[in-house]
Amino acid sequence: MDFLNAIVALLNFVVIPATSYGAQLALGALGVTLIYGILRFSNFAHGDTMAFGTAMVILVTWAFQSVGIHFGPLPTALLALPFGIAITAALVLATDKAVYRFYRRQKAAPVILVIVSMGVMFIMNGVTRFIIGVGEIRFDDGGRFIVNANEFKKATGLAEGLAFRSTQGLTILTAIIVVAALFWFLNKTRTGKSMRAYSDNEDLALLSGINPERVVAVTWIIAAGLAVIAGTLYGLDKSFKAFNYFQLLLPIFASAIVGGLGSPLGAIAGGFLIAFTEVGFTYAWKKVATYVLPDALAPDGLAQLLSTDYKFAVSFAILVIVLLFKPTGLFKGKAV
Amino acid sequence: MNLRNLLLFGFVALLIVLEGTTTAFGLFGGSWNTALGILNMGLISAILALGVNMQWGYAGLFNVGVVGFVALGGLAPVLVSTQPVTEVWTTQGAGRLILALLIGLAVIALAIVLYGRLRGRNRTLAILAVLIGGFFLFRAVFDPAVDVVESFQPATHSNLGGLGLPVLLAWPVGALFAAGAAWVIGKTALGLRSDYLAIATLGIGEIIIAVMKNEDWLARGVKNVISIPRPVPYEVDLQRDPGFIDLAASFGSDPVTASTVAVKLLYAGLFVVILLALIWASEKALNSPWGRMMRAIRDNETAAEAMGKDVTRRHLQIFILGSAVCGLAGAMIVTLDSQLTPGTYNPLRFTFLIWVMVIVGGSGNNWGSVLGGFLIWFLWIKVEPWGHALMGLITSGMAEGALKSHLQDSAAHMRLLTMGLVLLLVLRFSPRGLIPER
């Protein structure tokens, strides 16, 4: 019984939160890695693209709610998602036309593009704050739980409750669908193949008649879509606050680099690796340990390795270790 | 220094003088107090921009963790110049805490030694054992000591305090702190791709801020340290000094205003001395063989390496120097404010804004960075009231309602937008900045 309780506690406080967080990071990192693969720079504006997209989704959600449109047990934000993606994709494409294209034509050094993306980040951050403010916004509605802690306790007779929030389930499910669709697109469709060809060898791709502007545009649209989905899922799961999205930049970059910049599979692996280590290091293991260990060995303190305020330190430490020992990442990314 | 540059500097000086003297069109504050406040932070911003310019302009290193080095420098005035909290300097308190920190350092040193000595699987196992065992040993010694220190008068102390030395001594110490952090990060991330340095510095910046917010024993965390000693006299003391009152009267000003202006002027004097010394040193360095070597490395690493230059070593050197300047500026900010408030270290304000200064001013040119520092700081301060005024004008014809109040509230966010726009416009149309590199 104690052992079962330990497993339930572990699922409840570590596995489920880390899986949904990992899915969010993986979606974010996929966007970063795609931009890196095709446009060959680290996009610092990605966090704020997520924030902008989520803000749009929230606005559309509010509009739906005010006219009485709901999505049954699911959050209304899901209905608003396509609109958010469309607006964000339009904004990102406009940004590319107005800003990035000039430097691409010039064949500017990647670091210049990074600085340019910093400027874009400032503007997007400003626009997001301008539209929706800096406060914390919760916008999830619909059913709260797939598995409720109290009902779970009653049904099983265990001392530990298992709570599986619908937003967490939704995050994981959406991530699986999106990733499957993305891989199908990259591997099976003509456009996807031309994107991979462009990423692998720009000159050869150009020689075989691939239109670079089209590849770039498709990349931006996909990256915007991934960013909005990741941002909305994160906002549903936790809450929306513009500054938090800027801070997500570090774990997202860490995921992309750990997996290997430019490698989509790596971004997903990196996202889950970062998420599980972050949660594992910052979770207070006392509860699980008390169930598993004999009384004499049970810990006095919280058995927490690091305070939750240091979760960035965890993703950073993994990043540094990978950079030192395997600079191209776990799944051989590009090293320019 | 040609005529154009002098005019640019004259223009910035004019802006500050206008801020001090007139309220024309509602564009300026018309108070010497705010004008001098802008001047003082402008001087510090110029120093920060010089530091970032060393890294980016001389060597092409992309450091996005400026905020971390500034914060680390800001720690120095607290640790150097505040009075020690003698009650916690016991064997169970501070003694044990310092022992724990030494253990932590020893563990890391041992891991590095093992990494050099062993090979293969043995190495991995040995290092893992040392790090994991060391971590738990560290926590076992560290945690009780932290409890002792932090439980002492949490409302006013709960930290170790400082050494009670003069605050000016904290400035070079702040530079040293930042240089130490730069050495560690440079050792790991330099020599890799340029983007990696950017992301590594972004991370170290976040971590330094997190440590300063949460480790109360160090500098009280988010509870802030206030009334850090000042290198200049206090306003109240000046107002009581008969000699000063006479002096103020001779300028035809009342002692209260005169004292605040005098204090700000004294700070400005200190900062000007440091800024001039730094400009002189950087100009000398940039025009020496060392400076030419740096630019050669920046422009073509492979060629420089072929000439026998140790690129990674030189990068490390300049990275440490530039970060030290940022740390110095951080210590100066805390001295100017007389308080350390870790919650205010925002990367947008202390990293990205400094980058805007360097790029707008002209990367690679010391005078350009100084100009950018003053100009962008002035804009940063003034854009908010201007934004409010603009929004007031736009919304004046609108009916009272949610939209109007929303628009007026969001004027505060004009700053970020403007800075982003300025950065993008300069990068596009004048990528070499206002005062280009020769």
Interface confidence, given as ipTM, is 0.87
**Tens digit of pLDDT for each residue in B2-23?**
888 999 999 999 998 888 888 7
Contact yes or no for B428/A102 (Cβ under 8 A): yes
The residue of chain A nearest to residue B144, with distances taken between CA atoms, is A301
The answer to whether A121 contacts B352, with C-beta atoms less than 8 Å apart, is yes
Radius of gyration from C-alpha coordinates of chain B: 24
Phi, psi of B225 (to 5 degrees): -110, 125
CA terminus-to-terminus distance, chain A: 54
Cα separation, B177 vs B172, in Å, equals 9
Residues of chain A contacting residue B143, judged by C-beta atoms under 8 Å apart? 301
Residue located via tokens 């709260």: A144
Residue B210 at interface with chain A, using a CB cutoff of 8 Å: yes
Please state, in angstroms and as integers, the Cα–Cα distance from residue B75 to each residue in B79, B161, B168, following that order.
Answer: 6, 11, 13
- The CATH number linked to B17 is 1.10.3470
- In 3-state terms, what secondary structure has residue B225? strand
The answer to whether A115 contacts B206, with C-beta atoms less than 8 Å apart, is no
Radius of gyration from C-alpha coordinates of chain A: 21
Residues spanned by the domain of B117: 86-151
Query: Which pairs with CB-CB distance under 8 Å and at least 24 residues apart come from A267-270?
Result: A267/A26, A267/A29, A267/A30, A267/A32, A267/A33, A268/A26, A268/A29, A268/A30, A268/A179, A269/A330, A269/A331, A270/A25, A270/A26, A270/A29, A270/A329, A270/A330
Question: Alpha helices, DSSP H only, in B338-365?
Answer: 347, 353-361
Report for A309-318, B94-103, B117-126: range of highest mean pLDDT: B94-103
B222-244: average pLDDT? 87
Considering only the beta carbons, identify the residue of B195, B204, B210 that sits closest to A110: B195
Of B151, B171, B206, which marks where a domain is finished?
A: B151
Range scoring the smallest mean pLDDT among A76-85, A159-168, B68-77, B307-316: A159-168
CA distance A249 to chain B (A): 9
Are B41 and B107 within one domain? Answer: no
Residue A327 at interface with chain B, using a CB cutoff of 8 Å: yes
Are B68 and B193 within one domain? Answer: yes
Does residue B438 belong to any structural domain of this protein?
Answer: no
Q: Which of B64, B410, B429 to mutate to test the interface with A (most CBs of A within 10 A)?
A: B410
Residue B191 at interface with chain A, using a CB cutoff of 8 Å: no
Are B353 and B316 within one domain? Answer: yes
Does residue B434 belong to any structural domain of this protein?
Answer: no
- In 3-state terms, what secondary structure has residue B152? coil
Residues of chain B contacting residue A278, judged by C-beta atoms under 8 Å apart? none
Cα separation, A242 vs B245, in Å, equals 50
Are B8 and B101 within one domain? Answer: no
Quote the tokens at residue B20: 């001090």
Considering only the beta carbons, identify the residue of A42, A116, A301 that sits closest to B427: A116
How many residue contacts between A and B have a Cβ separation below 8 Å? 130
H-helix or E-strand spanning residue B127: helix B120-150
CA distance B248 to chain A (A): 44
Are B144 and B188 within one domain? Answer: no
Residue B113 at interface with chain A, using a CB cutoff of 8 Å: no
Does residue B435 belong to any structural domain of this protein?
Answer: no
Per-residue pLDDT of chain A (336 residues; tens, 9 = 90+): 678 888 888 888 889 999 999 999 999 999 999 999 898 888 999 999 999 999 999 999 999 999 888 887 888 888 999 999 999 999 999 999 999 999 999 888 888 899 999 899 989 999 998 888 888 888 888 767 888 878 888 888 787 788 888 888 889 999 999 999 999 999 999 999 999 899 888 889 889 888 989 999 999 999 999 999 999 999 998 889 888 898 898 899 999 989 888 888 899 999 999 999 999 888 888 777 778 777 767 677 777 788 888 888 888 888 888 877 787 888 876 644
CA distance A319 to chain B (A): 8
* pLDDT for position A303: 75
Residue A130 at interface with chain B, using a CB cutoff of 8 Å: yes
Of B110, B136, B151, which marks where a domain is finished?
A: B151
Are B203 and B257 within one domain? Answer: yes
Contact yes or no for A302/A236 (Cβ under 8 A): no
Does residue B339 belong to any structural domain of this protein?
Answer: yes
Are B106 and B61 within one domain? Answer: no
What total number of domains does chain B contain? 2
The residue of chain B nearest to residue A44, with distances taken between CA atoms, is B199
**Tens digit of pLDDT for each residue in B332-384?**
999 999 999 998 998 888 998 999 999 999 888 999 999 999 999 999 998 88
Of B100, B116, B151, which marks where a domain is finished?
A: B151
The answer to whether B199 contacts A247, with C-beta atoms less than 8 Å apart, is no
- In 3-state terms, what secondary structure has residue B84? strand
The residue of chain A nearest to residue B138, with distances taken between CA atoms, is A305
CA distance B352 to chain A (A): 8
The answer to whether A99 contacts B428, with C-beta atoms less than 8 Å apart, is yes
Higher pLDDT, A291 or B291: B291
The answer to whether A247 contacts B198, with C-beta atoms less than 8 Å apart, is no
Are B100 and B133 within one domain? Answer: yes
The answer to whether A119 contacts B420, with C-beta atoms less than 8 Å apart, is yes
B130-159: average pLDDT? 88
Please state, in angstroms and as integers, the Cα–Cα distance from residue B111 to each residue in A216, A301, B141, B322, following that order.
Answer: 45, 27, 19, 29
Higher pLDDT, B24 or B122: B122
Considering only the beta carbons, identify the residue of A118, A315, A323 that sits closest to B352: A118
Mean pLDDT taken over chain B: 89
Considering only the beta carbons, identify the residue of A114, A312, A324 that sits closest to B206: A312
Q: Which of A42, A91, A118 to mutate to test the interface with B (most CBs of B within 10 A)?
A: A118
The answer to whether B348 contacts A112, with C-beta atoms less than 8 Å apart, is no
Was domain A2-247 assigned CATH 1.10.3470?
yes
Are B329 and B405 within one domain? Answer: yes
Are B358 and B407 within one domain? Answer: yes
Residue B80 at interface with chain A, using a CB cutoff of 8 Å: no
- In 3-state terms, what secondary structure has residue B340? strand
B255-282: average pLDDT? 92
Cα separation, B301 vs B280, in Å, equals 27
Higher pLDDT, B132 or A143: B132
Opening angle at CA B348, ends B343 and B349, nearest 5? 70
CA-closest candidate to residue B254, choices B18, B266, B262: B262
Residues of chain B contacting residue A336, judged by C-beta atoms under 8 Å apart? 193
Residues of chain A contacting residue B184, judged by C-beta atoms under 8 Å apart? none
CA-based max dimension of chain A = 71
Are B90 and B117 within one domain? Answer: yes
Residue A59 at interface with chain B, using a CB cutoff of 8 Å: no
* pLDDT for position A336: 43
Does residue B329 belong to any structural domain of this protein?
Answer: yes
Does residue B437 belong to any structural domain of this protein?
Answer: no
Name the amino acid, one letter, at B56. W
**Tens digit of pLDDT for each residue in B274-290?**
999 999 999 999 899 99
The answer to whether B194 contacts A110, with C-beta atoms less than 8 Å apart, is yes
Are B126 and B211 within one domain? Answer: no
